[in-house]
């Protein structure tokens, strides 16, 4: 439904989490437990879901006749 934009956002979120996770593991020299892996997966899901909600809200504002600048302003 969201097409290429959702794929780009999802890949961006995944890359961000992988970079942060790799940096953390390199600095601390820590092994992940199953609960830590589940927390990472849930965090990725929450990040992607938040981005989808933001895109949907902007789309609604654009359909209401606002400009892009007005749609993304607070």
Say how far apart CA 47 and CA 13 lie, in whole Å. 7
Nearest partner of 61 among 52, 70, 53, judged by Cα? 70
pLDDT value of residue 50 = 84
47-61 pLDDT per residue, tens: 878 878 888 888 899
**Residue 32: its pLDDT value, please?**
75
Where does the chain have alpha helices with state H? 4-28, 34-63, 68-72
Dump pLDDT digits (tens) for 9-64: 778 878 888 888 788 777 777 777 888 878 878 887 888 788 788 888 888 999 99
Q: Note the pTM of the prediction, 2 decimals.
A: 0.56
């Amino acid at each position: 439904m969201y097409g290429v934009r959702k794929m780009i956002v999802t890949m961006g979120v995944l890359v961000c989490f992988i970079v942060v996770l790799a940096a953390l593991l390199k600095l601390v020299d820590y092994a992940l437990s199953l609960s830590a892996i589940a927390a990472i997966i849930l965090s990725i899901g929450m990040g992607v879901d938040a981005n989808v909600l933001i895109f949907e809200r902007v789309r609604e504002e654009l359909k209401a006749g606002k400009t892009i600048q007005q749609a993304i302003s607070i």
